Amino acid sequence: MKTKKVDGLWSHVYWLGVLSDMGSFTAAAQRLGVSKAAMSHRVGELEQAAGTPLVRRTTRSVRLTEAGQRLVDTTRSSFAEIERNFASVRDLAAKPQGLLRVTTAVALGRQQIVPLIPAFLSEHPSIRIELDMSDHLSSLAKEGFDLAIRHVATAPETHVAWRLCSTRSLLVASRTYLRRRGTPERPVDLRSHDCLHYLRSGPVPTWTLEPAKGDPVTVDIAGGFAANNSEALREVALRGLGIALVPDFSAQTDIQSGRLQVVLPDWRVSGAFGEHLFAIRPHSPYVPRTVSAFVAFLRKNLKGGFR
């Protein structure tokens, strides 16, 4: 095969690696910003040049053949090195520029991250942001994200992490509900209340509360509504239907306005949500300036936490 032809196939090999990561032609095409037909055509050309099948196609998914997987495995590190080198060269520019792909949870994104983005883009007009809001924990490297903003207890050791601020979990209710049902004075009082809880696996939902001094208390709770989104829990609490357990950033505005009141303020709820916000990215020897700029901006604007 002529050298020129081999050189022209490098981009095809890169596309094959993306196909391996994404698992389908549709997802790979979306990741690359091309049509599904173009994706399929490139892979077909590569198979023709290799003289052997590289992909096994089914009606539901795509898997690489042994030859295809070997090709991807042996070239992946080279492409990663090219990406790092290109990013470092691009960052020699006077200001951060380019695309920044960020993922975060839905409630956290809507309530805290999105309101900050206009000011960031005003400061850095050469940066473009794509924000994915999903409660699904994405694989950053596999799905092509530069950064994740996560509400967790500890950051994963396999990633680089910057702590943005501390958070806490709160029990909140509307004043209407508390006037009608009474205000709990001890954790055990929660057993006689409608408790709006985060939807998790397990036979009986419980809340664990810790006093300033002494042993924690775990209480079985029940209520007419549960959800896997703190915004939904907050909205139902605002309607006077119960006591909700939510992260402080979710209830901050409504507490300040008086629409929600903190219940059992002298007790700390533990084991419900994370205690910190982290900016997380995969380990790499080089951090793009777009990432560094966004992390610095978030740390500056979130350093006070949510009071």
CATH number for the domain running over 169-270? 3.40.190.290
The reply to whether 3-90 and 98-160+277-302 are identical in fold is: no
pLDDT at 19: 81
pLDDT tens readout for residues 200-239: 766 778 999 999 888 999 999 999 999 988 999 999 999 9
CATH number for the domain running over 3-90? 1.10.10.10
pLDDT at 293: 94
Q: What does the pLDDT average to over 302-306?
A: 73
pLDDT tens readout for residues 86-136: 666 665 555 788 899 999 988 899 989 999 999 999 999 999 999 999 877
> For the chain, what is the mean pLDDT?
85
Strand partners, 162: 279
Question: Could you give the percent of the chain with pLDDT greater than 90?
Answer: 44
* Band of pLDDT at residue 2, cut at 50, 70 and 90: very low
Q: Is the pLDDT of residue 264 over 50?
A: yes
Instruction: For 180, list phi and psi in degrees, rounded to 5.
Output: -80, -40
pLDDT at 287: 82
Using alpha carbons only, what angle is made at residue 139 by residues 136 and 145, rounded to the nearest 5 degrees? 100
| Segments making up each domain of the chain, as ranges | 3-90, 98-160+277-302, 169-270
pLDDT at 241: 96
Distances (CA, A) of 258 to 5, 173, 175, 238: 69, 10, 8, 11
Provide the token pair at 183: 């205000």
Q: What does the pLDDT average to over 233-250?
A: 95
Q: CATH second-level architecture of 98-160+277-302?
A: 3-Layer(aba) Sandwich (3.40)
Q: Going by C-beta distance under 8 Å and a sequence separation of 6 or more, which residues neighbour residue 229?
A: 106, 107, 135
pLDDT at 259: 96
pLDDT at 36: 85
pLDDT at 214: 87
Q: Is the pLDDT of residue 74 over 70?
A: yes
Q: Is the pLDDT of residue 64 over 50?
A: yes
